[in-house]
Structure 1
Amino acid sequence: MKNLLPSILLGLTILSSTACKHPGKEADILTAAPENKDDISKNVYVDSYGEKIEVTINSTKNTATVHLNGKTYDLKKSEALPEYTASNEEYQYSEIKGNITFLKKNVDMVLFHLKKDKKESGPAKMASY
């Protein structure tokens, strides 16, 4: 029994000393998130009835995302139509000369329409000579 006690103590000492050592700190590798270089603009419009539409335009990818009444619509820019117009098979969003329109194409139903007020310019300034 006397020989067993020192060997058990020696084994516990070796075991505890190796268990308490932490492995060397490994170099942390940080991966940077890819930068989003897209040209994105986000606008929120409210019409005279209090309806709110949120439009996110990605000019880089030529897409528009419209949020209206809790639904999201993904549209693609239409080059054939004037100014900024985006559409898919069912819906069309247009922003032409301050008129913002979102409509369902196959039934010609306007879901949202807003005519932005043109900002009035201040009094004309004349150059003096």
Structure 2
Amino acid sequence: MKKLFTSVLIGLAVLSSTACKHPGKEAETLTEVVPENKDETSKDIFTDSYGDKIEVTINHTKGTATVHLEGKTYDLKKSEALPDYTASNEEYQYSNIKGNITLLKKNVDMVLFHAKSETKGSGSAKMASY
């Protein structure tokens, strides 16, 4: 009798637990349309002779440059009057002129970073002799 009673209790417990579950509302899934970033950007990392690295992200669409050096970020605007790619703000100036990368603090004329970029395909030119 005790086994029957326990079996009936367990059966009722299982039935009541499954019977009490109502199908709830399905969660609505929102799909947010993320606009594509149509900005034309380029990202370069340069290393100077001391091993310091500078990371430069240039947004050609907006005409801006973001420079990361030693944990600091510099937001600069492209200067059309200066040659090649030059960007600056009130305090700093970044330039990449013919592979010479320079970041300087303008008001004290202090160079914070300078490196000569290696040009691609600058391997030794050998002439064939016949």
TM-score for the superposition, normalised by structure 1? 0.75
Aligned to 2:103: 102
Shift of 1:34: 1.7
Give the letter aligned to residue 123 of structure 2.
Answer: E
C-alpha spacing 1:29/1:88, structure 2 compared with 1 (3 Å): same
Deviations 1:73-93 (A, max 9, x none): 000001111110000000000
Unpaired stretches in structure 1, ≥5 consecutive residues: 1-15
Moved more, 46-55 or 28-37: 28-37
- Given the alignment of the two structures, is residue 36 of structure 1 paired with residue 37 of structure 2, yes or no? yes
RMSD: 2.1
Q: Alignment partner for residue 120 of structure 1, among 119, 123, 128?
A: 123
Amino acid corresponding to residue 106 of structure 2 in structure 1 = K
Show structure 1 runs of 4+ deviating over 6 A.
Answer: none
Q: Which amino acid aligns with 2:107?
A: N
Q: Partner residue of 2:10?
A: none
Query: What TM-score, normalized by structure 2, do the two folds share?
Result: 0.74
Unaligned runs of 5+ in 2: 1-17
Q: Could you tell me the percent identity over the aligned residues?
A: 63
Equivalent position amino acid for 1:38 in 2: D
| Distance of 1:23 and 1:81 partners within structure 2 | 65
User: Per-residue deviation at 1:124?
Assistant: 6.1
How much has 1:26 moved relative to structure 2? 5.5
